[in-house]
Amino acid sequence: MTYKYQDKPQKVDCPGPDKFLMHEALYSFQEDIGVHYNKYTDYKKGSSLFYMEGYSQFVYFGFSGTAPFSEIVSAHSLEILERLRKETDLWTSKQGMLSLNYNGEYVSCLINSIQDEALRNKINSLKEVNYLTPQIIAETMRINVIRVVQDPYLAMYMALDAYYQPLINRNISKTEESL
């Protein structure tokens, strides 16, 4: 796999999976949602408004599982997805579906590193009572979307729980002809 975003700042530092892969996953996710949700805007690609628009349009639909994932995902993100699938500490299996492993070392680090204390405490409280799911946290994340843009740990949590997890379970693929 060719890395495209290694020249961008490494903003997340948690133990566990390959840091280069996780870095690539975050930036590829951000680029995918930015491109998809800015088709009809005049925000310049790469600008903060371009990414803010992507996050604000995706956040609720991603967490609720209703985003048009097959339209959003790039071939590069699908390559990343195949590598992420092999990171066994990131996922748990329930009834043949993969879910983000909230108790894993990497995800626990992400959650415990969220900058906003109230949001961090809410996510941890849901996690502690085994009630944290993308659907349960969707509205909270929609309300706090500005924090996602400002907090790389929260953005990485979002990328994993609201983007890569649904992609894994949908078996979405794209051929080069359809890209």
Q: Which pair of structure tokens corresponds to residue 48?
A: 């903060």
Q: Are 100 and 160 in contact (CB under 8 A)?
A: yes
Higher-scoring residue by pLDDT: 179, 85: 85
Structure confidence at residue 1 (pLDDT): 87
pLDDT band at 179 (very low <50, low <70, confident <90, very high): very low
Q: What is the pLDDT of residues 5-17, one digit of tens each?
A: 999 999 999 999 9
Q: Are 108 and 102 in contact (CB under 8 A)?
A: yes
Inform me whether the pLDDT recorded for 21 exceeds 60. Answer: yes
Q: Parse the chain into domains and list their residue ranges.
A: 19-171
| Cα–Cα distance measured from residue 135 to residue 18, given in angstroms and rounded to the nearest whole number | 28
**DSSP letter at 163?**
I
Mean pLDDT, rounded, for 121-130: 97
16, 17, 25: which is closest to 156 by C-alpha?
25
